[in-house]
């Protein structure tokens, strides 16, 4: 493992396999020389066919990331928006973002008008990634009050209405009616927390008051919309909260067993399916007070209970801070990255694991090649693989290598590719709540589940968007009659990946549909 002292001696020039803007061709300090990395990848590729179908496999692809991938979001085009801004470099005065295409493995970078570093980001119902806040200044950090929406078709940002106050490290949450809740973040005029809540209405491009945050609200609070329309907040604070958007009030829910702050841990709303009566459960993992004294523990809470309480979950393979957790089409959660000491690649946890909500257990998921610490991200791709990028152990130093995880469901037990069911078409492609739509597939009779997964928008160890909603359906020869989610509280309006999964647990390639 290369020490931080050695890192400072390793300038390198990013070699791109694609066309990038001139600003992206500047020198960047790599965590590892590119030649050495290519050699390791060649050796790893020689053993890929021997990888067990029980753990999946990790693969490092050839192109490297030319900008620090601080925040990423999957768009309905299948491409990934990468937001960098100043990229944890206080001397950077040219702010950048990019679009990565997983199919062609190319990235196009471009400049942006203001510093979106450490923003909040969700995807609007019309499919545009929506950025709130960012950075006005470093040391101490002041939060940006500007907002912008990214058009996936033209791949350009357009300004949207400013917020009333600045937000650095804010959280955005899409509510059941398609409005956006903005909370927390440092103010524009001082390094103190913005304690107001603002609600954005996309149709009118306006902000309105949503009341106030609870006392001592953390930065980047981890929030999930529940099927009853309320918003559950599960960290990093130990005392979990519940927000009612109608009454604009907060109530206490439960205190974690860990009993301390889980800074830079993570939180996942587990799959909502007909089999579990759409009962909302949340799992929290890792983190620690001040991002120190990091824990390997996990906890689960059933929010449908009359008096919800946190219960112990299984321990991870090691303490993790700055970890990532991504829901897969089979309902399992890929947990990867992080380190036992914050921003310390010598304590990086390379081993990944799969959490199974049905059994409340972890299973091995192979090992990553590169340390993924602060500012690292994972994102489910439409074909069911997972993208892993980033890692920023100190200012001006980031991990440029890109890894792809192939989950076990893509393989037979002997490591050969599994035969996947296929979606021939969806009618209509825009679906409405409670309606019936048709999924055409020659594999219809072998299908055992149909589901929607909301594309992710990830930063700082938390995905502000991902959720899995199972659907009811009936089977006919050559097609499935599927019933859309009942309402926006169960599945907020927007674009989703539709997956069909066969009796062997193998998913189709996802198809984007819009839920209105």
54-69 per-position pLDDT tens digit: 999 999 999 999 999 9
Q: Is 154 helix (H, G, I), strand (E, B) or coil?
A: coil
| Interval 195-229: pLDDT, tens | 999 999 999 999 999 999 999 999 999 999 999 99
Please give the biggest Cα pair distance in the chain: 64
- Using the predicted structure, report yes or no on whether residue 4 has a pLDDT greater than 80: no
Instruction: Give per-residue pLDDT as tens, 345-357.
Output: 999 999 999 999 9
What number is the average pLDDT over the span 12-26?
A: 32
**Which residue has better confidence, 18 or 516?**
516
3-class secondary structure for 293-320? CCCCCEEEEECCCCCCCEEECCCCCCCC
Q: What are phi and psi of 466, to 5 degrees?
A: -60, 140
Q: What's the mean pLDDT in 290-295? A: 96
CB 392 within 8 A of CB 68: yes
Q: Which fold has domain 4-410?
A: Methylamine Dehydrogenase; Chain H (2.130.10)
CA 184 to chain CA mean position, Å: 19
Pairing status of strand 430-431 against strand 511-515 = parallel
Structural tokens at position 405: 């995880």
- Higher confidence at residue 42 or residue 332? 332
Gap between the Cα atoms of 493 and 150, Å rounded: 17
pLDDT in tens, 111-163: 999 999 999 999 999 999 999 999 999 999 999 999 999 999 999 999 999 99
* Cβ partners under 8 Å of residue 141, min gap 6: 118, 135, 168, 186, 191
User: Poorest-confidence range of 42-51, 382-391, 504-513?
Assistant: 42-51
Tracing tokens 């050695």 back to the chain, one arrives at 6
Over residues 498-511, mean pLDDT: 98
Name which of 444, 446, 428, 440 is nearest 484 in CA terms: 428
pLDDT at 14: 30
d(CA 367, CA 388): 12
Residue 195: both structure tokens together:
């304690």
Q: Which residue has the tokens 């200044």?
A: 137
Q: Domain residue spans in the chain?
A: 4-410, 425-515
CA–CA separation, 248 vs 260, rounded Å?
27
For residue 94, what is the DSSP state?
S
Average pLDDT over residues 439-450: 98
Tokens for 157? 């940002």
Helix, strand or coil, per DSSP, at residue 160:
strand
Residue 16 has pLDDT above 70, yes or no: no
| Best CA proximity match to 407, nearest among 398, 417, 397, 393 | 417
| Superfamily holding 425-515 | Immunoglobulins (2.60.40.10)
Q: For the whole model, what pTM was predicted?
A: 0.91
The shares of helix, strand and coil residues in the chain, as percent rounded to the nearest 5, are 5, 45, 50
pLDDT in tens, 352-372: 999 999 999 999 999 999 999
């Amino acid at each position: 493992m290369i020490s931080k002292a050695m890192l400072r001696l390793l300038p390198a020039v990013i070699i791109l396999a694609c066309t990038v803007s001139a600003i992206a061709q500047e020198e960047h300090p790599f965590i590892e020389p590119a030649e050495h990395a290519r050699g390791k990848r060649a050796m790893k590729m020689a053993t890929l066919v021997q990888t067990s179908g029980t753990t999946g496999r990790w693969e490092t692809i050839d192109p490297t990331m030319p900008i620090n991938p601080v925040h990423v979001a999957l768009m309905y085009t299948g491409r990934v928006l990468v937001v960098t801004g100043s990229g944890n470099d206080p001397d950077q005065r040219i702010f950048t973002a990019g679009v990565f295409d997983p199919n062609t493995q190319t990235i196009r970078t471009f400049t942006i008008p203001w510093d979106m570093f450490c923003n909040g980001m969700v995807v609007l119902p019309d499919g545009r990634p929506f950025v709130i806040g960012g950075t006005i200044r470093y040391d101490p950090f002041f939060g940006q009050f500007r907002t912008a929406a990214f058009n996936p078709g033209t791949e350009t940002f357009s300004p949207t209405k400013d917020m009333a106050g600045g937000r650095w490290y804010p959280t955005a949450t899409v509510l059941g009616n398609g409005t956006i809740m903005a909370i927390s973040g440092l103010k524009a005029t001082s390094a103190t927390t913005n304690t107001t809540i603002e609600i954005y209405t996309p149709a009118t491009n306006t902000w309105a008051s949503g009341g106030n945050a609870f006392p001592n609200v953390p930065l980047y609070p981890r929030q999930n919309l529940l099927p009853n329309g309320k918003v559950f907040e599960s960290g990093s604070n130990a005392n979990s909260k519940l927000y009612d958007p109608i009454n604009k009030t907060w109530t206490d829910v439960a205190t974690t067993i860990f009993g301390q702050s889980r800074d830079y841990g993570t939180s996942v709303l587990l799959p909502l399916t007909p089999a579990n009566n759409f009962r909302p459960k949340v799992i929290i993992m890792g983190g620690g007070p001040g991002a120190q004294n990091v824990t390997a523990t996990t906890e689960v809470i059933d929010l449908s209970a009359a008096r919800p309480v946190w219960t112990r979950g299984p321990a991870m393979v090691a303490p993790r801070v700055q970890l990532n957790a991504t829901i897969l089409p089979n309902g399992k959660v890929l947990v990867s990255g992080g380190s036992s000491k914050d921003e310390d690649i010598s304590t990086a946890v390379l081993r990944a694991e799969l959490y199974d909500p049905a059994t409340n257990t972890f299973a091995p998921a192979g090992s990553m090649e590169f340390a993924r610490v602060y500012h690292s991200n994972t994102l489910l791709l439409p074909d069911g693989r997972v993208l892993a990028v980033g890692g920023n152990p100190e200012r001006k130093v980031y991990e440029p290598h890109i890894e792809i995880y192939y989950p076990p469901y893509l393989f037979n037990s002997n490591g050969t590719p599994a035969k996947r069911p296929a979606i021939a078409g969806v009618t209509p492609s825009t679906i409405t709540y409670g309606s019936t739509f048709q999924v055409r597939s020659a594999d219809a009779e072998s299908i055992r589940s149909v589901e929607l997964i909301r594309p992710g928008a990830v930063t700082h160890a938390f995905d502000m968007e991902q959720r899995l909603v199972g659907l009811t359906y009936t089977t006919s020869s050559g097609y499935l009659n599927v019933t859309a989610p009942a309402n926006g509280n169960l599945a907020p309006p927007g674009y989703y990946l539709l997956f069909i999964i066969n009796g062997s647990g193998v998913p189709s390639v996802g198809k984007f549909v819009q839920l209105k």
